[in-house]
């Protein structure tokens, strides 16, 4: 099993130079997620998964093979792949058009469709307790005031918060 310290080093290397939603180093955000899990009494295995869960996003430009070469076990990489959200834009467009046909304003329909698509995505993680706990933790930390962007687009912020809350509820952990 990969230790938390080893996972942290890998995540720090992969996310070097990346910023979080508050403008700080992304690795500090991931550390906040791991700390959140630790405060809830979650084992090192879940904390390790949480700190690694974003190593395969588009922003890292890393492949599963590269992450395995860095020392992450193949079964962990498979789980990270399952936890990595890839927006299904075709479904979002189709669902938002359906909502607009029912009279929902375009911007609200788009946000509602994104929320529903994301909640559908996270629901597939419920069959793995570690994945569900790690994903729930990242969403809980994103709800912290520090990470909520209070943009001029209040509707976007409102829907983002609701999306995270509904996803956490769906995970049930």
Residue 105 burial class via C-beta count within 10 angstroms: exposed 0-12, middle 13-18, buried 19 and up: exposed
Query: In whole angstroms, what is the distance from residue 31 CA to residue 173 CA?
Result: 20
Q: Does the pTM exceed 0.75?
A: yes
**DSSP code per residue over 92-148:** HHHHHHHHHHTT--HHHHHHHHHHHHHHHHHHTTTTSHHHHHHHHHHHHHHTSGGG-
Nearest CA to 26 among 52, 2, 4? 52
Nearest CA to 118 among 144, 97, 138? 138
Whether the CB-CB separation of 52 and 33 falls below 8 Å is answered with no
- 149 pLDDT higher than 80: no
Give 92's pLDDT tier (boundaries 50, 70, 90).
very high
More reliable by pLDDT, 16 or 23: 16
Would you state the structure tokens that stand for residue 5, as one six-digit string?
């310290």
Residue whose tokens read 């690694």: 52
Query: In whole angstroms, what is the distance from residue 41 CA to residue 19 CA?
Result: 27
Give 40's pLDDT tier (boundaries 50, 70, 90).
very high
Percent of the chain with pLDDT over 90: 84
What CATH class does 4-171 carry? mainly alpha
Percent of the chain with pLDDT over 70: 97
Give 22's pLDDT tier (boundaries 50, 70, 90).
confident
Residues 6+ apart with CB under 8 A from 71: 2, 6, 10
Give 151's pLDDT tier (boundaries 50, 70, 90).
low
Sketch the domain layout of the chain as residue ranges. Answer: 4-171
Weakest mean pLDDT among 89-93, 108-112, 136-140, 150-154: 150-154
Nearest CA to 121 among 52, 71, 171? 171
- 150 pLDDT higher than 70: no
User: According to the model, what pLDDT value does residue 147 have?
Assistant: 84
Residue 26 CA to its chain's centroid (Å): 13
């Amino acid at each position: 099993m990969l230790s938390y310290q080893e996972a942290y080093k890998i995540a720090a290397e992969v996310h070097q130079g990346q910023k979080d939603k508050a403008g700080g180093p992304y690795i500090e955000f991931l550390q906040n997620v791991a700390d959140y899990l630790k405060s809830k009494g979650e084992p090192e295995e879940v904390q390790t998964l949480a700190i690694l869960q974003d190593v395969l996003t588009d922003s890292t430009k890393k492949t599963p093979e590269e992450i395995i070469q860095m020392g992450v076990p193949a079964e962990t990489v498979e789980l990270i792949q399952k936890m990595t959200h890839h927006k299904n834009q075709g479904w979002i467009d189709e669902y938002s058009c359906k909502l607009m046909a029912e009279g929902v304003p375009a911007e609200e329909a788009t946000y509602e469709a994104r929320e529903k698509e994301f909640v559908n995505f996270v629901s597939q993680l419920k069959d793995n307790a570690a994945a569900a706990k790690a994903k729930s933790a990242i969403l809980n930390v994103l709800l912290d005031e520090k990470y909520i962007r209070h943009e001029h687009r209040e509707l976007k912020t409102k829907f983002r918060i609701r999306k995270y809350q509904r996803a956490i509820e769906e995970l049930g952990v």
